[in-house]
Amino acid sequence: MLAQASKDAARMAQPVGVGLDSAAVRARMVRRLETLAGSAVTQAMAEVPRHRFVDPALAPQAYEDTALPIGFGQTISKPSVVARMLQLLSEGEAARSLGHLGRVLEIGTGCGYQAAVVCLLARALVSVERIEGLHRQALARLTEWRSERQLHLPVRLIHDDGSRPHGLSGPFDSIVSAAGGDAVPPAWLALLAPGGRLVAPVGGDGLQALEVVDVQAGPQGPIFNRQRLEGVAFVPLRSGIA
């Protein structure tokens, strides 16, 4: 599978356009994010070439603070939203104790950009994508980028129903979702480790907000503490695979 992913990545090679391969371009983007995230998150975002995770025609817009289409009716989140969500994860009890995001579950791999950033902040990553075409593209891009960076942390990309993923072995210290439903699925909460934190968009009828869920061990079972934060706009969380 890895060999095939490498071949796929070569076929999707991104252009090295004017300035696109420059760390200075990413640095300008990151400077705009410093009010939203700490040094660990912003440094990770400075090191990931966002233009390599979007269609070549959209590469000139890769470092603007905007969502971009990635095909299949899906989008790559704004850099500011990625920074905000990963910073919220990093402030969870487990992450603060560990000094990193620990073992991470990502719902909605999309193009693989956020997964790449997480690779620099975590010790293991499992990412689930329901759309097979996106799953394959992300696998190819991440395989190529991780090979170049010589990153050896355990990473597993799965084509599955993210709303109720099958066969996952928890617990996870951090869970982040790139799609929003009416409520956080109980299946996700069951995978959180004590001290773990989940960050996901929640809400229906186009009125979404970020929800942060922290879990503590209690005498009668886990205790979930929830915070509802600012409004956001994400693609809807859908069940099934495509």
Do the Cβ atoms of 217 and 194 come closer than 8 Å? yes
Given 39, 77, 163, 239, the catalytic residue: 77
Strands (E), the chain: 68-71, 74-76, 103-107, 124-129, 155-159, 172-177, 192-202, 208-218, 221-232
| Among 160, 211, 165, residue whose Cα is nearest residue 191 | 165
CB atoms within 10 A of CB 71: 14
> Which tokens go with 234?
């994400």
Q: What is the dihedral of CA 126, 127, 133, 134, to 10 degrees?
A: -140
* CA dihedral (75, 227, 37, 87) positive or negative: negative
Is 77 an annotated catalytic residue? Answer: yes
Catalytic (active-site) positions = 77
